[in-house]
Homo-oligomer: A and B are copies of this chain.
Amino acid sequence: MRTTPIVQKILSNYEGETPGVKSNLARILMEGALGGTGKMIILPVDQGSEHGPARSFAVNPGAYDPHYHYQLAIDAGLSAYAAPLGPLEAGADTFAGQIPTILKMNSANSLMGPGAGKDQAVTAAVDDALRLGCSAIGFTIYPGSDQMLGMFEEIRALRHEAARKGIATVIWSYPRGSISKDGETAVDVTAYAAHIATLLGAHIIKVKLPTAFVEQDEAKKVYDGQQIPVATLAERVAHIMQSCFNGRRIVVFSGGAAKGTDAVYDDTIAIRDGGGNGSIIGRNAFQRPRADALAMLGKMVAIYKGQA
């Protein structure tokens, strides 16, 4: 595997990190149609946990089979495939070496009542990632949740163990709990949530694309007073990148529930123009017919390459 100067530049930002972690970051950065560009598209499939199997897969029944997702990610030339323990164990041999994988380490579900708190269960071990040949672990934090401090301490321990064993860490940072519904995608809260993930030592940060809403009063004074530009989506992406060590960390963005392809392409253009590193796209990929999904992902690749 050769790397490109832009990938070398990205890797150099992870100072003091083990060669093992850097190698795994490089595997993701050099994989697929965007290999070597510093951009990436990741396919995450943990919707079965979040919403149950029928709500996730009935619209496109082939997707009940874990092999479907491996194959989709490979055929679309994506950078990595992320899933919980069970689905990876259902395809790890068949697709060994064909695409970098990310073991999603914790999960919530919509059977949880309010008494369970805003929290997730850790459902895998770092050694599972080693055994299954994964390049990274993935972990969700809920900044704003009353269980937040415990979640931070869980990922602290997992990240530490993973890094020692040469595995990279991706943090999904989703504000929740003490925050209003609009605030969960507010630009100040999203920047804050992304920044918290960088402080925790995440190698790759995943946040939702932010709106122009500002949630916190103290933050509003600063966004207004300093005239931080957040009017366009591209500006907001740029602000998130700045909030992640001024661009020294890889940040990918998700777009949420399934929607039209034009909306997906607009998001992709904004991420590219704002300097983001790419997309993490689940339901919008696997809930479409396979041919449609491949076409859409192909166009996203072209956008990131500046060819569309």
> Footprint of B on A, CB under 8 Å?
13-17, 48-49, 51-55, 58-59, 61, 64-66, 84-94, 107, 109-117, 119-125, 127-128, 131-132, 143-150, 152-153, 156-157, 160, 175, 177-179, 188-189, 191-193, 195-196, 198-202, 216, 218-219, 222-223, 226, 228, 239, 242-243, 245-246, 248-249
Contact = CB atoms under 8 A, between A and B. Distances in A.
Contacts of A146: 113, 115-116
Contact of A125 (B53, B156, B178): B156
B243 A54 contact: yes
Contacts of A200: 84-86, 123
Given A109-B196, A125-B156, A179-B111, A16 B93 contact: yes
A54 B201 contact: no
5 contacts: A52-B195, A61-B242, A107-B199, A122-B152, A123-B201
A121 B156 contact: yes
Q: Which residue, A53, A120, A128, has most C-beta atoms of chain B within 10 A?
A: A53
A153 B141 CA distance: 16
Contacts of A243: 53-54, 64
Given A111-B189, A198-B86, A226 B54 contact: yes
A55 B218 contact: yes
Given A55-B218, A112-B178, A123-B156, A66 B245 contact: yes
B53 A160 contact: no
Contacts of A145: 113, 116
A212 to B, nearest CB: 14
